[in-house]
Amino acid sequence: MAEEKKDRTGNCSGGKGSVSVVGIGPGGLEHLTDRAKAALTGADCIVGYTRYVDLIKPIVEGKELFSTGMTHEVQRCGAAIEFARLGKKVAVVSSGDSGIYGMAGLILQLAYADKELNGGIHIEVIPGIPAFVSAASILGAPLMHDFASISLSDLLTDWEKIEERVEAAAKADFVTILYNPKSTKRIEGLTKAIGIISRYRENTTPVGLVRNASRQGEEAIITTLGEVEKYFDNVDMLTILIIGNSATFTDCGHMITPRGYKVV
Ligand code: SAH
């Protein structure tokens, strides 16, 4: 019997197709890693949400494309696995890092749940620069100390759980990153989250808002917890917020969380 060959994800490589789950970074092509670029150019087929595929259009021009709108993640990832089963090299595109609120987990879950697949395709997860890292670099250095990241999207997570996490992060004085802060249908969550954090932090705590970080249309604002509500009209699903901890301060337009070094 031939020896079973397992790859790093524990999958068996049966010589059939493959799925690379590619984190494309924040969007600007200069932020794409060489490894991500190689996976995209080497792919037979690109699978992804239309908006993200558009960001890397010059690299994937002419390739077979399977693109759907938002909230069709299971269908999209299922199709990617199906294409790989047919022997294709598939690149599934995620914005930022594919393992952070991205497609990596779903691809692995679907592949492992598919008993017929029996490990017959190779799967790799290729990291990318996450939005919070891009945003932090634009704001200055707000993540120099411990931080928590919370998505305010209640599509897949109960709102009670989200509130609990916001409160726990605020209580523990974590710098707090808010992903998916507001959509056209979901506007209350951000007000509630800021209200919870305000119970534990001063009104003067710096808050950074970055929209379209490291891609066309980039906008950044640094304000305070007491004033942030004034900017809620500028917040949408292309925005990320970083709320400082009790030591975070602003200087010359930068948001800085001190690590504790003595500075004269
Ligand atoms: N995988 C991504 C996160 C996807 S969730 C990552 O690693 O960062 C989608 C949310 O990410 C958006 O609602 C927004 O809050 C944030 N986001 C993604 N790209 C962004 C960018 N370039 N600028 C600001 N926020 C961004």
pLDDT, position 85: 93
DSSP string, the chain: -PPPPB-TTS-B--SS-EEEEEE-BSS-GGGS-HHHHHHHHH-SEEEEEHHHHHHTHHHHTTSEEEEE-TT-HHHHHHHHHHHHHTT-EEEEEESB-TTSSSSHHHHHHHHHH-TTTTT-SEEEEE----HHHHHHHHHEETTSS-EEEEE---SSS-HHHHHHHHHHHHHTT-EEEEES---SS--HHHHHHHHHHHTTS-TT-EEEEEESTTSTT-EEEEEETTTGGGGGGG--TTEEEEE--TT-EEETTEEE---S----
Q: Is 100 in the pocket of ligand 1 (CB under 6 A)?
A: yes
Average pLDDT over residues 36-42: 97
pLDDT, position 70: 67
Q: State in words which class domain 132-256 has.
A: alpha beta
pLDDT tier for residue 4 given thresholds of 50, 70 and 90: very low
> Best mutation site among 31, 70, 97, 101 for ligand 1, i.e. most ligand atoms within 8 A of its Cβ?
101
Higher-scoring residue by pLDDT: 9, 29: 29
Overall pTM surpassing 0.95 (yes/no): no
For the cut 90, the answer to whether the pLDDT of residue 29 exceeds it is yes
> Best mutation site among 134, 185, 238 for ligand 1, i.e. most ligand atoms within 8 A of its Cβ?
238
Q: Give domain limits for the chain.
A: 18-129, 132-256
Average pLDDT of the chain?
92
For the cut 70, the answer to whether the pLDDT of residue 154 exceeds it is yes
Average pLDDT over residues 52-59: 91
Average pLDDT over residues 20-30: 96
Q: Is 210 in the pocket of ligand 1 (CB under 6 A)?
A: yes
Would the CATH topology of 18-129 be identical to that of 132-256?
A: no
Of 7, 44, 39, 42, the residue nearest 22 (C-alpha): 39
Q: State in words which class domain 18-129 has.
A: alpha beta
Give percent above pLDDT 90 in the chain.
81
Q: Is 95 in the pocket of ligand 1 (CB under 6 A)?
A: yes
pLDDT, position 15: 53
Average pLDDT over residues 117-146: 95
